[in-house]
Chains A and B, each alone.
Chain A
């Protein structure tokens, strides 16, 4: 079991946003984290990557918690934020080198991977550009390239599909597929439900800081028989219950 979130209560201040959340992501699994704006998706992710410390509960990654060994814990994670964040003073080439240094990757081998990725995302002629010259989509691609450069066990991808061109979305899904086959796990939050439905193995439906339901699409359909067939329908019915 790669990632195990168990009974996590947490948030930015003393008032908890997450109210006792538990779910897991197994090896070679792509789990979709689904929820409305403000449901607690980003807060959950921030807890997993170690930006926030839970008030209660534990987050374990292949048997290690961040408190036990932050280095060993963080070494296993690659993160793609929703809004691209880059070092303003570094060129694309230097961003890649920083990633290699941070994850202690073999220089030549990592560059070979990097060149493939850069070619895929059509960034190979922009190695000496500064972030200021990149469009939003390009910045997102830089984030993807940096993340998939690593040999991380767990990829955390926050809303990857908005802002990417269809070609890049396709390439990203292919990359995710490849890594899954190599045994890595992926936790992905998204609002693009039809894509999520097609590619995710399991879903965690968050609502108001709680896990509403969890499982494969057929499990969700069985749990909410009158909701409808698609993930979209299930998701909408789940939010409607709350609105009444």
Chain B
């Protein structure tokens, strides 16, 4: 079983390495170095202005430590098929989970050490803590994180339906109590409390793991969510094929659809609009690019630069929307319904016009706010209108007409 985890871990690390290479490209590393340097410089400057004895200093330290203690989840690398294939090996799975927890410790505990290390100068300045106390607090933090990860593991053996002992409120609660005790009394107290918690969970686990079934479905869901979070992060930098996109009801946007009357020729507008809004894949893209564009335009000054940037962002969004046309090609009814392909294309053009129109308006609004020139605002508006019209009404149908011919 431990061998199984090791093979899975190798595969997992290879995959992560592949994405990390893409994320930490030269440009990004360069930007990151500057950012870290700037932050470090700012932090050290801020420390110089602080004195000992602020009442809020321990509160800040407490909040930071509690927050950091939650970082680093239990990575089980469990897969969906496991609940079928590994079911007969349920007892042996314990060894697997123990190894998984040991692996999860690495990144989680490193984060704790870095955080305490970064916080130490702040505490020694504002709270006048000696080095020994800081080290003790660091140890308490490590034991606490160990206990929290053990809670994650132990909760896999709880009875289905019971509130999990690694519920976020419980984790935040015990972290708050233990660290507050350490900060306002002695760090040693925090060490003792954290140890008590850790041992208590360990004893519970030792008593239960042989009797209780693993909560397979929930563990799989937790692991899927964890991976989804990682993929989402990578997705900001590069394409992640595993991210099929999730579907959200977004009931608060239901009012929007009322504008589309359920008529025969509106079939695809009806379908596309809901697919666009509720699927995260394309709507996420549009929202992200629009927000980035707005932020950028807010900080950019000049006569021509805003015009070019606004045009660029509209082009980017319009271009990325094109594949959405084929979104429903694998649903057989797209071909069976008695609806002409031309109608489908017309609906898509309407949708693209609508989306680009709203985006263009938002970008234009930011340009107007950020730039005092009437001329810049006017030219931006003109360029945007022409671009949206061309992209949506001329370019999109031309490009997609070909794909209709090929696919029928």
Contact = CB atoms under 8 A, between A and B. Distances in A.
Interface size class of chain A, counting residues whose CB lies under 8 Å from the partner chain:
20 to 34
Given A90-B274, A102-B338, A130-B249, A85 B267 contact: no
Interface string A48-81: 0111010000000000000000111111010101
B247 A89 contact: yes
Contacts, number: 70
Interface in A79-107: 79, 81, 85-90, 94, 97-98, 100-104, 107
A214 to B, nearest CB: 26
Contact of B275 (A70, A73, A87, A100): A87
A89 B254 CA distance: 13
B336 A90 contact: no
B274 A94 contact: yes
Interface string A123-134: 000000010100
Interface stretch (B79-87, B211-219, B226-234, B258-266): B258-266
Interface residues of B, number: 24
B404 to A, nearest CB: 13
Given A89-B279, A101-B262, A71 B338 contact: yes
Contact of B337 (A53, A72, A102): A102
Interface in B257-297: 262-264, 266-267, 270-271, 274-275, 278-279
A98 B268 CA distance: 9
B263 A101 contact: yes
Interface in A28-43: none
A219 to B, nearest CB: 32
B332 A87 contact: no
Contact of B267 (A72, A79, A98): A98
Contacts of A107: 262
B336 A74 contact: yes
Contacts of A75: 338
B264 A88 contact: no
A102 B264 contact: yes
Nearest to A143: B333
A151 to B, nearest CB: 12
B331 interface: yes
Contacts of A98: 267, 270-271
Given A102-B337, A102-B339, A103-B338, A88 B271 contact: no
The residue among A73, A79, A107 with the most chain B CB atoms within 10 A of its own CB is A79
Contacts of A89: 247, 274-275, 278-279
A50 B264 contact: no
B242 interface: no
B24 interface: no
Contacts of A50: 335-336
Given A79-B336, A89-B247, A102-B264, 6 more contacts: A51-B336, A70-B340, A71-B340, A73-B338, A88-B279, A90-B271
21 contacts: A49-B335, A50-B336, A70-B340, A71-B340, A72-B338, A74-B338, A77-B336, A79-B336, A85-B331, A87-B271, A88-B247, A89-B247, A89-B275, A89-B278, A89-B279, A90-B271, A94-B270, A100-B262, A101-B263, A102-B338, A103-B338
Interface of A: 49-51, 53, 70-75, 77, 79, 81, 85-90, 94, 97-98, 100-104, 107, 130, 132
